[in-house]
Chain A
């Protein structure tokens, strides 16, 4: 889909599993490769992203852009891994 990049700013980002990730604040552009490399986010979901500020997610996770942005759910795996670790420790 060809569009002006200002149209993506302000859109809400969800994962393909339906979880809210955040809101698009800005895009990171690689000048040499001439591609968008990342999405800078605000108002992000703190249960998924445990960071105080400056969250940039890689653009390769983006699946589609329309009224909202859909990204691949990579957060689930992280959480599951943590839970696995915890489970191992408790054993």
Chain B
């Protein structure tokens, strides 16, 4: 499935168990090869998810763990533990 990058902005990010992580802020990529690396999520209020890595107040989640993107961005919690 192909999507426009802009259409992903401000989508809600959920874990596969239903926990709200926050709002999609940006995506990092290797711009030379085009490989997508991480999604950067602005945390929702009162969230504390120990599995996730936090950098400068944003969650950095490997793109490999993203299960699907449609109305919400869903991150696989099982895959998350491997990273």
Which residues of chain B come closer than 8 Å to A35, judged between CB atoms? 33-36
A87 to B13: give the CA distance in the assembly, Å: 57
CA distance A28 to B26 in the complex (A): 14
B27 near A5 (CB under 8 angstroms)? yes
Known: A29-B36, A31-B69, A34-B64. A3 touches B31 (CB 8 A): yes
Q: What interface size band does chain B fall in?
A: 20 to 34
Neighbouring A residues of B27 by C-beta, 8 Å: 4-5, 29
Interface of B is mostly: strand
Label chain A's interface by main secondary structure: strand
Q: Complex Cα distance A35/B1, Å? A: 11
A35 to B63, CA, bound (A): 10
One of B3-11, B15-23, B41-49, B75-83 at the interface:
B3-11
A43-51, A58-66, A71-79 - interface stretch = A58-66
Using Cβ atoms and an 8 Å threshold, which residues of chain B touch A60?
A: 34
Which residues from chain A sit less than 8 Å from chain B, CB to CB?
A: 1-6, 8-9, 26-32, 34-37, 40, 59-60, 62, 64-65
Give 19 pairs: A residue, B residue, CB < 8 Å, sorted on A. A1-B31, A3-B28, A5-B5, A6-B26, A8-B31, A26-B5, A26-B6, A28-B5, A29-B8, A29-B27, A30-B1, A30-B2, A31-B2, A31-B3, A36-B5, A37-B2, A37-B34, A62-B31, A65-B31
